Structure formats: C-alpha cells, structure tokens
Homo-oligomer: A and B are copies of this chain.
Amino acid sequence: MPSSRPLRADARRNREALLSAARQAFLGGDTDTHVEDIARSAGVAVGTLYRHFETREALVEEVYRKEVDDLCTAPDDLLNRHAPDEALRRFLLLLVDHAAVGRGMSVALESIMATDSPVFDDARTRMGDALTRLLDAGSAAGTVRDDVSGPTLLRALGGVCALRATEGWLDEARQITTLILDGLRHGAPRAG
C-alpha cells in the first residue's frame, strides 16, 4: 500500500498545492476553514482533495506533523550546547514561542498535547520522545527529578498551548512553563 508508484506529476503538484493552502489557512489561525475553501484556494476540486487525504482531519494532521517535526529536532541541538536543565528550559520556552508565532501552531500543539485523537498519535509520540531525551539527560546529570516521563510532561504542557488569543497570554504561558520547570527541578520540595 505505501508508495506503490511515484505520483504522477500533476498529482504531486496538486498535493503540494493542497498542503500549502491548508498550511496557510490553519497556521494563519483559521482552524475551521471548509474543505471546499482549501480546495478552491489550491485551485482544485474537493474530489481531488479527497483523493489525496482520507478526511479533513488527515489533512490537518499532515500539516501539523511537519511543524512538529521541525520542533522536535531542537532538543538534540540544545543538549549539545547547554546543560540538560538549561536545554529543557529553552525547549519549553521554544514551544511557547512557536505557539506565539500565530494561533495556528498553538492549535496544533494543543490538539497534540491535549487529546487522544489517534490522528495525532504520531506527532504526540515524537514530542514525547523529544521531551524524554531532555528529561533523561537532566536526571542523568542529577539536576532534574527522575520520576516524570516525557509523555507525562507533554500532558502537563497541554494547558500552556491553549492560551492563544487571551489578553496577555504570552506572559501567562511563560509563567506556567516556569512553574512546571520549578516543579521538575531536582531537590524541589516534594508534595506530601
């Protein structure tokens, strides 16, 4: 089923056009753009959209996965350049800033972190792994507590990414991030 033949030239072109139109719509913040509109602005008919993407959600997922993939390359770089707890701190703030770029990415992150939708399984796994790498490095260095897993931390961050568009949300997001980091620090006073 996967990759039978290479796509025909026009098909590949249309697929790209669709993804690009969808990216523009979704990352621009308009998360509930109609499929018809996406198809139209890609210069194709809905039938074509559905030839390339199983459902509307599948298209959404494809767009967001690429964004998440980008983000997930960051931890390795950060770990090379910084102490583990600092790398962790920077990564979390990076998430916030990405969410800040536009409402769109925030919606993506939220969907990924705050739902169980199988549509985002893949992205969720990648993010979880990225966080796990950071946490492991930190606890190996003794600066981060070792009883929190990547996926759990991912869940904890869910709320941060739901803030878009509130007055003063960026500050609030940073504050929550800090709060979580403080809780993660090795030697934090533990709740009874």
A162 within 8 A of B: yes
Contact A192 B89 (CB under 8 A): yes
A80 within 8 A of B: no
Given A156-B160, A185-B188, 13 more A-B residue pairs with CB atoms under 8 Å apart are A86-B192, A114-B114, A115-B162, A148-B175, A154-B159, A156-B156, A156-B176, A181-B191, A182-B189, A183-B183, A185-B189, A188-B188, A188-B189
Closest 9 A/B residue pairs (Cβ): A158-B159, A183-B183, A114-B162, A182-B183, A181-B191, A179-B183, A156-B176, A155-B159, A182-B188
Q: Which residues of B contact A114 (CB under 8 A)?
A: 110, 114, 158-159, 162
A116 within 8 A of B: yes
- Report A's interface with B, CB cutoff 8 A: 86, 89, 110, 113-116, 147-148, 151-152, 154-160, 162-166, 172, 175-176, 178-185, 187-192
In the complex, the count of this chain's copies comes to 2
Q: Which residues of B contact A164 (CB under 8 A)?
A: 116
The one of B151, B165, B166, B180 that contacts A180, using a Cβ cutoff of 8 Å: B180
Q: Which residues of B contact A165 (CB under 8 A)?
A: 116
In this complex, the member of A114, A158, A164, A172 whose beta carbon has the largest number of chain B beta carbons within 10 angstroms is A158
